[in-house]
Amino acid sequence: MDDHENAADVVIAFANTHADAGGRRERFADAAGVAAWWAEVGPGATPVEMTDADAAEVRAIRDALVTVLLAHAGDAGLGAGAVTQAEARLRQAASRCPIVAVVDRDGVTLEPTQDGVPGLVAHVLAATARLALAGAWNRVKACRNEPCHLAFHDTTRNHSRVFCSATCSTAVGMRAYRKRRRERESR
């Protein structure tokens, strides 16, 4: 697996911890939930000590990331202010949770400089940086189907995928069709 595919997996796993109307539960509802997620996906799976306030901060960073991923999918429902605010939140997180370039004879890796919650956030930001350096950052998107917003890796040749699945694409198409029909009938 390519490094950028591995990086995409990290970003997608982080983004897809949110609840949705389809029955997914909020993985980051509290400190125990974030710690459990990190134990599942983190490198080395070192325990993370945190508070519910830390979990709230991780949720805010995750939500900002999902907003940027929705922008990658061209979600018309996003205002420019929402994207700007999300980008500012991610910049703020990056300043508090730095990564460092580790150079050796095999190449360069980006690694967190801290443990705990800052290390968790830095791990996700390092994956994001690897995607950007590989030219694949804009291929990680969030589904434009509003109740879903599931993150996915767009592997289409022309980068045109905007839904995580055919099911979501169909649901959006049906909602648009029903809306047009109601408008036509109300005339």
Whether 141 and 73 have beta carbons less than 8 Å apart is answered as yes
How many whole angstroms separate alpha carbon 175 and alpha carbon 182? 11
What is the CB neighbour count within 10 angstroms for residue 117? 24
Give all strands (DSSP E) within the chain, no chain letters. Answer: 99-104, 107-112, 140-142, 151-153
Tell me the CA distances in angstroms from 10 to 6, 74, 157, 167, 169, one per residue in order: 6, 22, 22, 24, 24
Confidence of residue 3 (pLDDT cuts 50, 70, 90): low
What is the CB neighbour count within 10 angstroms for residue 50? 19
Q: Tell me the residue range of the domain where 152 lies.
A: 3-185
Confidence of residue 2 (pLDDT cuts 50, 70, 90): low
Whether 16 and 151 have beta carbons less than 8 Å apart is answered as yes
For 34-87, write each residue's pLDDT tens digit: 989 988 887 765 667 889 999 999 999 999 999 999 999 999 888 889 999 999
How many whole angstroms separate alpha carbon 59 and alpha carbon 144? 20
Q: How many domains in the chain?
A: 1
Q: Which residues contact 41 (CB under 8 A, 6 or more apart)?
A: 10, 13, 14
For 110-150, write each residue's pLDDT tens digit: 999 988 889 999 999 999 999 999 999 999 999 999 889 99
Under DSSP, the state recorded for 139 is G
Confidence of residue 1 (pLDDT cuts 50, 70, 90): very low
Can you tell me the mean pLDDT for 8-14?
95
CATH number, position 74: 1.10.3300.10
